[in-house]
Amino acid sequence: MRVTTPLIYRLGVEAIARQQADLLRTQQHIASSKRMLTPSDDPIGAAQATTLTQAKARVGQYSANINAAGDALAHAESVLGQAGDVLQAVRTHAVAAGAPALSDADRRSIATDLRAQLAQLVALANSKDGDGAYLFSGFATATQPFSTTATGVAYAGDGGQRTLEVAPSRNLPISASGDRVFMGVPQGNGAFVASAGPANTGTGVITPGTVVNPAALTGDTYRIQINVAAGVTTYDVIDVTTAAVVSSGNAYVDGGSITVAGMQVTIGGAPANGDQFTLAPSASQSVFATIANLIATLETPVSTGADRAGLANGLNRALADVDQGLERILTVRAEMGAGMRELETLAAGNEGQQILHDQALSRLQDLDYNQALSDFARQQLALEAAQKSFIQVSGLTLFDFI
């Protein structure tokens, strides 16, 4: 091969350019602190880094959802705690209202305070979160769920329960509909309602009762019919649903237990002939209606023994209904508390995953400074040598020897 002056220049310049390119690339790695500037630097590593970055982003989104879910649950749980305090205060008033020494005016004063408690409970049920969305309106977060009407408190929301995806295939409930929390509350003891007939003239008082044999429950409504003849009090049990007489001529014992189809109640006092007591399957009622019924009971004047028995029966019914409302709120609060504990566990797991992802990405992407600086020094030395040798070689021309 003939070595000409142009060839010497071209090869020399190309060699210096390669050295400069290598040196510049190493300098870019050092400046960016990254081992891979483009996928071509390490195709397999770049693919792994992309997968890890996507996984890290998903975990980051789950962490953000966990924080949002935690805030929503904490806010709702706090409001439910206040609602429970209101119902507990209502229960205390109901117990106090049964004191024989209280006058009609005293009970009306208690009723006035209960109206304030009712208004406070409605306000709590209409609470909003930090974003201005109603907590207990279901999916209709922009709609005020509860309003006071002439017939009571009405619900305008829906039965939806909002959720957030806080982990793969895990949608955590972060709300409870007002329909479930405040409206659809069972009456009585949750299985049946024991009530005295409104036309009773005696002093018989019935307790809310309990279920002693769930297997014997039929779902029918039963009536306990009081009969008084010649100073002897007996009672008949009639299945109102089927119009069948279950038993008749049963001896009445003041304060004694009566068991009907797995349901057991106690009737005390002196019921009059023709008085009736009903055991009916429990239906749903709002906690607002429970308080309104209690207010109506306390505002009813008491002048006779029958009035006193009516007051006692009304208070027993109200206490049972308030207890059901408290149980419903406690149940929902417990569910939210369980959700918050789950979020704490998930948050801790996500933090661990993020650390592992960061470590894996660091191994793939971060630069080995010792190796890079060593390469930079070596390449710099090589470039200087190439430049000096080029100067010497390019100076060897034929004109220097003529």
- Return per-residue pLDDT of the chain as tens, 402 residues: 565 666 666 766 767 777 777 667 767 766 666 666 666 666 776 677 677 677 777 877 888 888 888 889 999 999 999 999 999 999 999 999 999 999 999 999 999 999 999 999 999 999 998 888 999 999 998 999 999 998 899 999 998 899 888 888 888 898 999 999 999 899 999 999 999 999 999 999 999 999 999 999 999 999 999 999 988 999 999 999 999 999 999 999 999 999 999 999 999 999 999 999 999 999 999 999 999 999 999 999 999 999 999 999 999 999 999 999 999 999 999 999 999 998 888 888 777 777 777 676 656 665 656 676 776 677 677 767 767 776 766 665 655 555
Angle at which helices 305-365 and 43-97 cross, to 10°: 170
From the list 329, 319, 260, the residue with the least C-alpha distance to 121 is 329
Contact between residue 152 and residue 288 where contact means Cβ atoms under 8 Å apart: yes
State the pLDDT at residue 2: 64
Taking Cα atoms as reference points, which of 307, 288, 309, 293 lies closest to residue 104? 307
Distance CA 288, CA 290 (A): 5
Q: Which two tokens stand for residue 78?
A: 């706090």
Cross-strand pairs, 211: 263
How many Å apart are CA 191 and CA 389, to the nearest integer? 101
Q: What is the DSSP string of 267-290?
A: EES-PPTT-EEEEEE--EE-HHHH
Under a CB-based contact definition with an 8 Å cutoff, are residues 137 and 128 in contact?
no
Phi and psi dihedrals of 265, rounded to 5? -130, 165
Amino acid 280: pLDDT: 95
C-beta atoms surrounding 182 within 10 Å = 28
Cα separation, 112 vs 102, whole angstroms: 15
What pLDDT was estimated at residue 58?
A: 81
How is residue 19 written in tokens? Answer: 């050295």
Q: Which of 303, 62, 68, 313 is nearest to 169 (CA)?
A: 62
Give the pTM.
Answer: 0.78
Q: What secondary structure letter does DSSP report for 238?
A: E
Express each pLDDT in 165-176 by its tens digit: 888 888 889 899
Does residue 180 contact residue 170 with C-beta atoms inside 8 Å? no
Contacts of 402 (CB under 8 A, 6+ apart): none
- What is the spatial distance between Cα 19 and Cα 380, in angstroms, rounded to a whole number? 8
The stretches of 235-368 forming alpha helices (DSSP H) are: 287-298, 305-365
297 within 8 A of 290, measured Cβ to Cβ: no
pLDDT at 53: 72
**CA–CA dist 322, 313 (Å, integer):** 14
> How do residues 42-53 score in pLDDT, each as one tens digit?
677 667 767 767
Residue 274 backbone phi and psi in degrees, to 5: 90, -10
Both tokens assigned to 33: 């602190």
The reported pLDDT for the residue numbered 63 is: 83
Cβ partners under 8 Å of residue 20, min gap 6: 383
Backbone phi, psi, residue 375, to 5°:
-65, -40
Angle among Cα 150, 153, 155 to the nearest 5 degrees reads 125
Nearest to 170 by CA among 50, 356, 349: 349
Could you give the CA distance from residue 318 to residue 324 in angstroms, rounded to a whole number? Answer: 10
Beta bridge partners of 235: 226, 250
